[in-house]
Amino acid sequence: MPQMKTNHPWFDMSLDVENRVAALVGDMTLREKIAQMLHKAPPIPRLGIPAYNWWNECLHGVARAGRATVFPQAIGMAAAFNEPLLFAVADAISDEARAKHHQALRQNNRGMYFGLTYWTPNINLFRDPRWGRGQETYGEDPYLTARLGVAFCKGLQGDNPTYLKLVATPKHYVVHSGPEPDRHSFDAIVNERDLRETYLPHFKACVQEGGAWSVMGAYNRTLGEPCCGSPRFLQKILREEWGFRGYVVSDCGAILDFHVHHKVTQSPAESAAMAVKNGCDLNCGEVYTALLDAVRQGLITEAEIDVSVKRLFEARIRLGMFDPETAVPYASLPPSVVRCPKHTDLARQMARESIVLLKNNGALPLSKDLNEIAVIGPNALSDIALYANYNGFSPQMVTPLDGILGKVSVGTQVNYHKGCDLWRDDPVPVDEIVWQARACSDAIVAVLGNTTELEGEEGGGAAASDGGGDRVAIGLPGRQLELLKLLHATGRPLILVLLSGSAIDLAEVEPYADAIVLAWYPGEQGGNAIADVLFGDYNPAGRLPVTFVKSMDQLPDFRDYAMKGRTYRFMEDEPLYRFGFGLSYTSFSYGKPSVNATSMSAAAPHPVTVSVDVKNVGQRDGDEVVQLYVSDVKATVPVPRHHLEGFQRIHLKAGETRTVIFTLTQEQWVCYTDEGQPMIEPGEFRLSVGGGQPDDPNGGATSTTLSWTA
């Protein structure tokens, strides 16, 4: 490899970043600039610039780069409703990413997935359970997604005043959530109210509060404009309204879609020019090689290209790539931090907190001293169901069967049978199953659900999906329901453990289980976390970040991006399980919320403080997720039924009471005009605080009202 020169001004740490960037870009040729705008950027030895691959992933752990701690999939981490814990996970991931990056450099490995610019988090709203990539998100609510997205961005990027730890990249901007097979050509049509109320707030929060240094554009068009070349979304909203300072990267192949699928341009040169002129700085793909032709054709100027190149090199300088490692505090993280005991313990804690108890008629928790237990189902011994997608690899994956074996008494007989195939229509071996379950067990744990074979990204490995990554049906796949009915008929206590990245239609399933435990795709410590819950060493408190409908008849058309009838905020039908729902082995009671004012005024707006006493009235210590919902009672424009505007996960000992305090800012009271303009109307607001939504009889919510005057 040629020796790189370092006696250039862009290596001079005494200069400010702007001058270093200007000097570097000023010494580059047009061809060199264009080459640096590709995700696989080549070296420029004469300028001392090493090769760099911008493509890296860390959705729930450093991905696709060998060994790393595998945390639960994003949708599971969302179910924990725990901002500080998610920040800790992101901080651990960024430690591992930094350690892996610097070790790779020592090995002269500058390949894909060992860099410092991460295309995470995925903060698209999970508006429809059929979407295969919904598992990568933080659920269906923009407020929950915003708070978790901000925590994750901050955990990745660090708080050093000089250096970024990593670059976080919220994606896919904007209005993107399936169908997967249509994503390269689809035009997402939304009204201005839905756009501002539902699809933009969490991106705004990640940019303004989370300080995200990068944003990834989506494949699709939104309101006629391709997202990776949209003057409205990339320039007017992202940069001018929100003050975004970083760089925009295209989704992979999205620029090619301009002329191949969207048909908004006629050639690669036109597509490349359109994207760069409108603010997409980095091309995941190769279309930007046509920028040279675009300059020759007068479609774009070199000065316009310089804007993007400067943004890219500012990020690299802020990451410390042009400074000695001794000057960059994050460069000292040792390789031993990867999968260290602290991180594997954190993976177990996150997996525990993500578990949602959907039903329990007293079957749980189980005794560790059972004489016999049967563990049956296609996910009981499945590593695939632990990993999810966009994953790293661990040498010590703990399956549900492993976790149960490690938990029960050495005097307990544990029988295992796959039961049925995950999704194929193969016959269930009835005689074998009945013998295992009836003759040899005091309890049955059926481990069923999905894996990324059935749901995921288009072209991303969901080989058994009938919808190109999406799910055409959302019930239990294959013959799993038949297996469950067979197990139920034995008369033994039956606990259903579900592994999935999305909601499952459980209307027909629920009667056949004494308890239902939803563990998502729980990561490398998933089996231990499941066993902790099943046997009472951990009291579950996870909450659903998505609505579980009773059937697909309750869902609007998948291709319709209007929010009417979607998610808990706008759905009028009664679902099977509500957003925010989750049971516990203990019980909690709520006092009446108190506020620091009974009215507010547009002339003198001020933060509103809401406090409520929460008591553990049960016999076990446990966590409670305290949720605050706001309802605009007398709005003259369409508004959500109610919307989450605060949550805290707290731990209470049996009999303990704690006062929980929320602060609401003026922005949290707004509704939107038909033109998408925010406003606060004079009228009445209801504030409801509880362990679930206001209309959830299990949540124990109590309410108060507050008025807004002109």
Residues designated as active site = 251
Cβ–Cβ < 8 Å for 313, 9: no
Q: Which residue has the tokens 């009974």?
A: 598
Token duo for residue 407: 């938990």
CA distance 706 to 599: 5
List CB contacts of 585: < 8 A, sequence separation 6 or more. 357, 360, 364, 365, 536, 539, 540, 618, 620, 622
Residue ranges of the alpha helices (H) in 426-524?
Answer: 430-434, 480-488
What ranges make up the beta strands (E) of 195-352?
214-216, 221-222, 225-226, 247-249
Q: Which residue has the tokens 């995470």?
A: 120
List CB contacts of 358: < 8 A, sequence separation 6 or more. 506, 516, 517, 518, 577, 581, 582, 583
Give the distance from CA 707 to its chain's centroid.
Answer: 35
What b/e sequence results for 549-584 when a residue is b if at least 16 CB atoms lie within 10 Å of its CB, and e otherwise?
A: beebebbbebebbbbeebbbbbbeeebbbbbbbbbb
Cβ–Cβ < 8 Å for 115, 55: yes
Closest CA to 517 of 488, 494, 490: 494
Closest CA to 682 of 599, 611, 621: 599
Rounded alpha-carbon distances, angstroms, from residue 544 to 61, 72, 576: 22, 15, 12
CA distance 1 to 212: 34
Rounded alpha-carbon distances, angstroms, from residue 679 to 68, 683, 686, 692: 46, 12, 17, 27
CA distance 664 to 628: 10
CB atoms within 10 A of CB 224: 12
Token duo for residue 505: 């239609």
Q: How far apart are the first and last CA of the chain?
A: 70
At 259, give phi and psi (nearest 5°).
-100, -25
Closest CA to 310 of 29, 55, 52, 17: 17
Burial of 185 (0-12, 13-18, 19+ CB in 10 A): middle
What is the DSSP annotation of 650-705? EEE-TT-EEEEEEEE-GGGG-EE-TT--EE--SEEEEEEEESS-TT-TTT--EEEE
* Integer-rounded Cα radius of gyration of the chain: 26
